[in-house]
Copies of this chain bind each other. A is one copy, B any other.
Amino acid sequence: MHKELLLDSHRRILPHIHRTPIFSSRLINKIVNADIVFKCENFQRGGSFKARGATNAILSLTEEQKSQGVVTHSSGNFAQALSLAAGRIGVKAYIVMPSTAPLVKKDAVLEYGGEIIECKPTLSARENEAHRIVEEKGATFIHPSNDMDVIIGQGTACLELLEEEPGLDYVVAPVGGGGLIGGTSLAAYYFGNGCKVVGGEPMEVDDAYRSLQSGYIESNETTDTIADGLKTQLGDKNFPIIQKYVERIVLVTEPQIIEAMHLVWERMKIVVEPSSAVALAAVLKDKPRFEKQKVGVVLSGGNVDFKAVGRFQ
């Protein structure tokens, strides 16, 4: 069922998203002694893979649902992605954002035509505000990562990667809320020829790593990471998929994330955000595992605020 869903969803979202290019770097291949290809979702519409899941979720609504709009709470890439997707499809998007969200993120949401509802910077305030909009406007709530249509949509990046590179031994993706790694692992299971999936996760937000060990969805005890897209925790929809299809999660430190990010910026000449670099950091850390293998790395996004980049050094 997931196999057909992936193919159908991909066909459905293709007019609204970019089929992103695949890059490689001789130097990085030399460092790892492997054949690595990078799926460049930093070039995706809205600057991250999240346009895929958001578009797929909106396209799966009924016409009546579409007419009443969609709502989510996010201070990051999903806010932009849902505004963008909704705008393209002609659906109203309500985005609940904490008052502390960076101006650059708010501007991007507005630019794509989303309506921002500000709230206090706590999870409960965000949830309450989103709930109020569902009640008042009849809008459909779309979760950034714990929603099957979103998970399937995110998986289409790996589907495209495997169409072009069918011989991959591994696909490595960052682990945040579980949408990308969940969808990636489904795509690799159904369309990879024995392709294994490894997740990269910052040590500072190691909820997924611990969840796989304990068998329960664990919460983060710290969230002090530069990879701001990965601070969220897994959900009941994506956790069982991750348990079943992800081989392992590799934890990486903050200096390892920054080193990997600089390597991509300086050697590949492309801009990726810290969360993206976590997957390459995992490959660099676990080098012996990937030696002489054909490895796909999902570069999940490229939304960097360079005016604030001093903290990345």
Q: Is the interface of A mostly helix, strand, loop or mixed?
A: helix
**Contact: B271 with A269, CB < 8 Å?**
yes
Among A270, A303, A304, the one with the most B-chain Cβ atoms within 10 Å of its Cβ is: A270
Oligomeric state, in copies: 2
From the candidates B272, B302, B306, B313, name the one contacting A307 in the complex (CB within 8 A). Answer: B313
Q: In whole angstroms, how far apart are the Cα atoms of A46 and B313 in the complex?
A: 24
Q: In whole angstroms, how far apart are the Cα atoms of A304 and B305 in the complex?
A: 17
Q: Would you call A103 an interface residue if the criterion is a C-beta within 8 Å of the partner chain's C-beta atoms?
A: no
Nearest-Cβ distance from residue A27 to partner chain B, whole angstroms: 9
Q: In the assembled complex, which residues on chain B have CB atoms less than 8 Å from the CB atom of A312?
A: 306
Q: Give the residue name and chain of the B residue nearest to A271 (CB).
A: B269
Query: Which residues 230-280 of A have a CB within 8 angstroms of B?
Result: 262, 265-266, 269-272
Among A265, A269, A272, A313, the one with the most B-chain Cβ atoms within 10 Å of its Cβ is: A269
Interface string of A274-309 (1 = CB under 8 A from B): 000000000000000000000000000011111101
From the candidates B271, B305, B307, B313, name the one contacting A271 in the complex (CB within 8 A). Answer: B271
Nearest-Cβ distance from residue A75 to partner chain B, whole angstroms: 18
**Contact: B262 with A307, CB < 8 Å?**
yes
**Contact: A310 with B310, CB < 8 Å?**
yes
Q: In whole angstroms, how far apart are the Cα atoms of A47 and B25 in the complex?
A: 12
From the candidates B262, B266, B304, B309, name the one contacting A313 in the complex (CB within 8 A). Answer: B309
Query: Which residues 181-217 of A have a CB within 8 angstroms of B?
Result: none
Q: In the assembled complex, which residues on chain B have CB atoms less than 8 Å from the CB atom of A313?
A: 306-307, 309-310
Q: In the assembled complex, which residues on chain B have CB atoms less than 8 Å from the CB atom of A304?
A: 265-266
Pairs across A and B, CB under 8 Å, 6 listed: A43-B269, A47-B269, A266-B304, A271-B271, A309-B309, A309-B313
